[in-house]
Amino acid sequence: MSRPVFRGLAAALLASAIPALPLAAQELRIGLASEPSSADPHFHNLGPNNQLRRNIFESLVGTDEAQQLTPLLAESWEPASDTSWRFNLRQGVTFSDGSPFDAYDVVYTVCRIPGVPDSPSLFTTYTGGITGMEVVDPHTLIVHSADPYPLMPTEFSTFGIISARANGVDTSSLEFSTEGCGDDLPVPATQAFNDGTAAVGTGPFLLESFRRGEGIELVRNPDYWGEAAPWERVTMLPLTSDGPRVAALIAGDVNFIENPPLQDLDRLRADSDLRVVQGISNRVIYIHLDHAQVPSPMITGTDGANPLQDIRVREALTIAVNRDAIVERIMGGVAVSAGELLPPGMFGAHEDGDLPPRAYDAERAQALLAEAGYPDGFGITIGTPNDRYINDAQVAQAVAQMWSRIGIETEIDASTASTFFSRRNAFEFSAYLAGWGAGTGEMSSPLRALLATRNSDLGLGGTNRGQYSNPEMDAVLIEALRTVDDDAREALLRQASRMAMDDYAIIPLHYEVTPWAMRASIDYVPRADQYTLPYMIRPAQ
């Protein structure tokens, strides 16, 4: 006990005795928990890639720590009509090769996105709804869509802008059309971003090298239009194993790491040379139930009936879970009990306390089961990944014990993420544990993906592998997705969320809290989107 105290004192004495170093000259070394697959901003729509992208290629719209929209390359935006948005672009911004940034670069970027070869996950998710782009003047852009598209500014925050001129495009002849922008449009290859030749962006850092498996080096962009980044040089090392990543931090080989493992948090906190920050994320951990299959594949003892179609059974399963116990004992406090699919404070979520987590009540759960005709319960298996979310299999195990306590014999079927997701998508489970991070920071994201009736044409229910269907909620959600007015849309999203929760459509367990660990000399504001952004990492005050 005395050592940390002594060290704390020593550190305090040192800090007061030595004048602050010229921090601007310092180097930041980060241990990444997962490695980006490419430096091409449009190659793979994946967290680690998007996190790297934000340092080099900026988007029109930015997002802050709570995923609220902020001006970035666009200074402002407003609806131009029912089906179009006007973006007023920032003046005086240049790309790192010296070419000026204007509306043509945005058009060029949207033109490139659908055609990225070999992409495992295209950004067309966010650009597919665009039906026209009109350059009013070099710094005013109007973007059209077929239907009202309230999420357009949000989705313009997801992809980075690349330079048309740096890639040899004659901007005067650049025309956007949904059919593409001409076959002879010169576009850089993915490889050209990885070797740095095409890595021309407007961001606070320049890409110096991208070496797969070895690390990524960024240097400060001397001509950045905004506030200069606090670091001259940033090295990001892929340290994907938990133990070695923590060791690298303690040993001083890196001074910042993502996702320190839960079991090491206490030790890291006790070390006065280190700092741990944590914040609630946009990711909810939930259990989805099979609403559609009769008989359901992993339910026994019901003579073929699917008890999950009975709302009383769903309610019983929901209130049989003691969320606070899971948060406290399994998640070590690094989680927050959930009452819906997005934490309070985010767009479309209820205010704190308006839709609280369902209270634990095992007796009532048993009564409900008896009422539904299952006084002796039934058997069920929960599918879960065991390497995807924080303590995922242990959480499923805890839920299984809680369900068993009310008479439902529950087993778990845990497998590695790659196997789990394939089996889940083949509807092999009657109940499964998974997580959802709202990329847009809006309630529309989880509702649209997890609970809307599956419909390929409308792009709804893509991850609704419980096949829940509630036409009334669908109607409210679709209305929200067409409502441009923010206040009206938020009210509709809250209504849709409450309808789903009242129907016990899904069992929210908790919101994950994301930790970061670093030397005590630096500081970071936790982000709901779980991104590690070097330009937001600051020397401690």
Partner 1 sequence: MLVYLLRRLAQSVFVLIAMMIVVFFGVYMIGNPVDILISPDATPAEIEETMARFGFDQPVYIQFLKFVGNALQGDLGRSFVHGEPAVQLILSYMPATLELAALGLLFSVAIGVPLGVYAGYKADRWQGRAIMTGSIFGFSLPNFWVGMLFILIFAVQLQWLPSTGRGDTVEVLGMRLSIFSSNGLQYMILPALTLALYKASLVTRLARAGTQEALTQDYVKFARAKGVSESRILFVHVLKNIMIPIITVLGLELGSMIAFAVVTETVFAWPGMGKLLIDSITTLDRPVIVAYLMLTVIIFIVINFTVDVIYTLLDPRVRVKGEAA
Residues numbered 114-153 forming contacts with partner 1, rule: CB under 8 A: 117-122, 124-126, 128
Residue 356 DSSP class: P
**Residue 302 or 514 having the CB closest to partner 1:** 514
- Minimum gap (Å) between residue 191 Cβ and partner 1: 7
- Minimum gap (Å) between residue 459 Cβ and partner 1: 3
**Residue 440 or 514 having the CB closest to partner 1:** 440
Closest CA to 447 of 251, 284, 257, 213: 284
Q: What is the DSSP string of 462-514?
A: TT-TT----HHHHHHHHHHHT--SHHHHHHHHHHHHHHHHHTT-EEEEEEEEE
**Residue 210 or 378 having the CB closest to partner 1:** 210
3-state SS, one letter per residue, for 272-329 = CCEEEEEEEEEEEEEEEECCCCCCCCCEECCCCCCHHHCHHHHHHHHHCCCHHHHHHH
Pairing of the two strands 140-145 and 130-137: antiparallel
Task: With beta carbons less than 8 A apart as the criterion, state whether 293 and 283 touch.
Answer: no
- Minimum gap (Å) between residue 212 Cβ and partner 1: 7
**Residue 423 or 498 having the CB closest to partner 1:** 423
CA-based end-to-end distance of the chain? 26
- Minimum gap (Å) between residue 514 Cβ and partner 1: 17
Q: Does 416 bind partner 1 (CB under 8 A)?
A: yes
Closest CA to 331 of 511, 506, 516, 527: 511
- Minimum gap (Å) between residue 297 Cβ and partner 1: 17
Task: With beta carbons less than 8 A apart as the criterion, state whether 302 and 372 touch.
Answer: no
Among 153, 377, 461, 534, binds partner 1 (CB under 8 A): 461
Per CB under 8 A, the segment of 93-101, 198-206, 298-306, 412-420 that binds partner 1 is: 412-420
| Number of residues near partner 1 (by CB under 8 A) | 60
Owner of token pair 């994907």 = 240
- Minimum gap (Å) between residue 310 Cβ and partner 1: 28
Q: Pseudo-torsion of CA 125, 129, 134, 137, nearest 10°?
A: -40
Q: Does 348 bind partner 1 (CB under 8 A)?
A: no
Q: Does 482 bind partner 1 (CB under 8 A)?
A: no
Q: Does 436 bind partner 1 (CB under 8 A)?
A: yes
- Minimum gap (Å) between residue 454 Cβ and partner 1: 7
**Residue 315 or 512 having the CB closest to partner 1:** 512
The rounded distance, in Å, linking the Cα atoms of 305 and 180 is: 51
- Minimum gap (Å) between residue 73 Cβ and partner 1: 22
Among 23, 142, 250, 533, binds partner 1 (CB under 8 A): 250
Q: Does 238 bind partner 1 (CB under 8 A)?
A: yes
The rounded distance, in Å, linking the Cα atoms of 301 and 434 is: 25
Among 28, 30, 41, 44, binds partner 1 (CB under 8 A): 44
Residues counted in the chain: 541
Among 206, 239, 338, 393, binds partner 1 (CB under 8 A): 239
The rounded distance, in Å, linking the Cα atoms of 430 and 296 is: 6
Q: Does 263 bind partner 1 (CB under 8 A)?
A: no
Residues numbered 23-42 forming contacts with partner 1, rule: CB under 8 A: 35, 37-38
Residues numbered 178-217 forming contacts with partner 1, rule: CB under 8 A: 190-191, 211-215
Among 59, 337, 445, 497, binds partner 1 (CB under 8 A): 445
Task: With beta carbons less than 8 A apart as the criterion, state whether 144 and 110 touch.
Answer: no
Q: Does 454 bind partner 1 (CB under 8 A)?
A: yes
- Minimum gap (Å) between residue 256 Cβ and partner 1: 14
**Residue 52 or 449 having the CB closest to partner 1:** 449
- Minimum gap (Å) between residue 457 Cβ and partner 1: 8
**CB-based burial label for 300 (10 Å; 0-12, 13-18, 19+):** middle
The rounded distance, in Å, linking the Cα atoms of 122 and 113 is: 7
Per CB under 8 A, the segment of 51-59, 399-407, 419-427, 490-498 that binds partner 1 is: 419-427
Angle at 28 between CA 25 and CA 33, to 5 degrees: 170
**CB-based burial label for 16 (10 Å; 0-12, 13-18, 19+):** exposed
Residues numbered 283-342 forming contacts with partner 1, rule: CB under 8 A: none
> Contact residues for partner 1 (CB under 8 A)?
35, 37-38, 43-46, 117-122, 124-126, 128, 190-191, 211-215, 237-241, 243-245, 247-248, 250-253, 387, 416-419, 421-423, 425, 436-437, 439-440, 445, 449, 454, 456-457, 459, 461-463
